[in-house]
Copies of this chain bind each other. A is one copy, B any other.
Amino acid sequence: MSIQMNQSLSVDCAVFGFNGKSLKVLLIERRYYKPDTRLDKLKLPGAMILENETLPEAAYRVLEEATGLKNVYLKQMDIFSDPKRVAGEELEWINRYHGIQTDRVVTVGYYALVKLDSRTIAYTTAKGAQWVDVDSIQRLAMDHKAILSAALTVLCREMLQSPVAFELLPRKFTIRALQNLYSAVLGIEIDNRNFRKKILASGFLTPTAEKEQGVAHKPAQYYTFNKNAYKKALKDKLKLGFINNWRY
């Protein structure tokens, strides 16, 4: 085998949002899509790496173009380096779309968590992008379904190990919304009372003076995430000595 020449590097981003009920991912329509080809239409936002640009810079550029947002929770996850991950018609589409001639594209998957507020939805809608229920997605362009699956796996793990959930929620949220989010991401039913008890016992939520308005049921209280309490707990835990930190 010879050294791979004439290859390209790209980034693809799974941008997650949460509408209070279900987990959404941002999808864009492939440009230059012809209905007569068999290629899947929807894809994750992505880009080829530019000269003088690092991979994280490329990922932030993609994210800003796709969402209008700059300071967003963005993390690199897997690298997708299967030599056949884009081939045939998909590779032809890439070369035609970008006006290049590449033999292979290795892509680095990123995942981002955004707050689905009206401004962001307006921006993405104007761009022709869609927030699609993660559960409803059967197929995507190229290997983007696999990239999305990998991102979901990372999101599940992160949500069990750190308070990233709050990146997806508005600053003020109900405990029910937090529970719905965990339920949606982990794909499990969660007991209301237990969840409420545990999350309040953690000391990481600060109650606000506000309650839900205009709802049929008993209005729920709004909370904010107490970052400082979390940081303090993290520090205290580390003080216990490193052997206690084994993730068992």
Contact = CB atoms under 8 A, between A and B. Distances in A.
B4 A106 contact: no
A52 B5 contact: no
A7 interface: yes
Contacts of A108: 79
Interface string A83-111: 10000000000000010101010101000
Contact of A54 (B9, B82, B162): B82
Contact of A49 (B3, B194, B243): B3
A198 interface: yes
So how many copies of this chain end up in the complex?
2
Nearest to A83: B52
Nearest to A186: B242
A220 interface: no
Interface in A173-193: 182, 186
B245 A106 contact: no
A81 interface: yes
Interface in A135-184: 159-163, 182
B3 A8 contact: yes
Nearest to A237: B248
Nearest to A56: B81
B247 A48 contact: no
Contacts of A32: none
A118 interface: no
Overall SS of chain A's interface: mixed
A2 interface: yes
Contact of A163 (B98, B195, B230, B246): B246
Interface residues of A, number: 53
Contact of A5 (B2, B102, B230): B102
A162 B248 CA distance: 8
A134 interface: no
Given A9-B106, A79-B108, A106-B9, A4 B51 contact: yes
A143 B81 CA distance: 23
Contacts of A51: 1-4, 83, 104
Contacts of A163: 246
A76 interface: yes
Contact of A3 (B2, B50, B242): B50
